[in-house]
Amino acid sequence: MKDDAYHRNRRVLVLVEREGPSIAPITFELLGIGKKIVFEINGTLCAAVLGQHINDLSERIALFADEIYSLDHPLADEFRPDLYATALEQLCRETNPQVVLIGCTLNNLDLAPRVAHRMGVQLITDCINLSIESGSGHLLCAKPVFGGKVIATFKLEKKPYIVTFRPKVIDPIESGSKRGKIIPFTPVINGSSANVTLIKNIQQDRNQINKAEAIVSGGRGIKDEGGLEKLKGLVRVLRKYFDIVELGASRPLVDAHLVPSSRQIGLTGEKAAPKVYIAIGISGSLQHMTGVLGAKKIVAINNSPKAYIFQVADYGVIGDFEEVVPALCKKLEEL
């Protein structure tokens, strides 16, 4: 059996994503893909928790990882890209991980390139699968390209391999039988690293599209507020069956100012992987379908039998949504 030093030199480091005082679900998905890579390299699964007063978060993550690096610092309470990059760079140089896994979230699209640049390595974003190349040990990263028309595989050859991973495309990790070791880590940072300061949060449309179990989306076929109300009615009915149901949209509804841009799904919008995705009046362009690559079931309602959406849907209804959606709501209410 190889000694502990061997395993510690083969670390996979996961950046824990926080949502206020809680841990974001993407963290457990990252730990899931991290566990897969650890198995392939016979290494150690590690996690980094950044923030202030994070003992409780570190204790929770200890149920899922072998080593938990707790970076507790008063300046790290709010997300600051330069400060977080400084802390992660120092942790990477101290622990020498082979792989660094970061969630593909809005903040991390700012953070991950900074870390990669500081470490002098390449970065692959928006990955949906990872594996170790046999023989070379290089990291193979699968991700959608050309508007989702192709799933391409990129190879990272210089360590640490740093990637961002798309939410909701892999099952979250299950807790282990033993607790990991919590290791305090104090980075050398100061106020000059915090050159971005949060002034205030601007209140916008709040949704949980990236967490939704079911999404009802409308497209060009939804002409007005009246049509949109029928979709909202379906959302309300589905909440009897799913914990989180959200209204989504393709770009035409956003351009028509019927829904806010925060609800746009697609290549230039939100990415989601619900259990059920109901596309109503949506043609099914590749740019839109890229946003729901991980959906378990897709249901299409469209009055054009030639709509591309029917080629990718699991179930399809050809008809006028103004008749189909109320009938569907009625049936769901009766069940």
169, 154, 161, 136: which is closest to 26 by C-alpha? 169
3-state secondary structure of 63: coil
Task: State residue 197's pLDDT score.
Answer: 63
Within 120-199, where are the H helices? none
The pTM for the full model equals: 0.79
> Does residue 99 contact residue 161 with C-beta atoms inside 8 Å?
yes
Task: State residue 202's pLDDT score.
Answer: 61
Task: State residue 1's pLDDT score.
Answer: 41
Tell me the C-alpha distance between 70 and 77, whole Å: 13
> Does residue 303 contact residue 243 with C-beta atoms inside 8 Å?
no
Q: Tell whether 204 is covered by a domain.
A: no
Co-location of 162 and 287 in the same domain: no
Q: Tell whether 201 is covered by a domain.
A: no
Tell me the C-alpha distance between 140 and 152, whole Å: 10
Pull the structure tokens for residue 288.
């839109």
Task: State residue 20's pLDDT score.
Answer: 80
Task: State residue 2's pLDDT score.
Answer: 47
Co-location of 136 and 220 in the same domain: no
Domain that holds residue 87: 4-193
> Does residue 215 contact residue 248 with C-beta atoms inside 8 Å?
yes
Q: Residue ranges of the chain with pLDDT lower than 50? A: 1-2, 6
8: CATH:
3.40.50.620
273: CATH:
3.40.50.1220
Pull the structure tokens for residue 78.
């709010």
Number of separate domains in the chain? 2
Co-location of 128 and 16 in the same domain: yes
Tell me the C-alpha distance between 324 and 307, whole Å: 17
Co-location of 249 and 281 in the same domain: yes
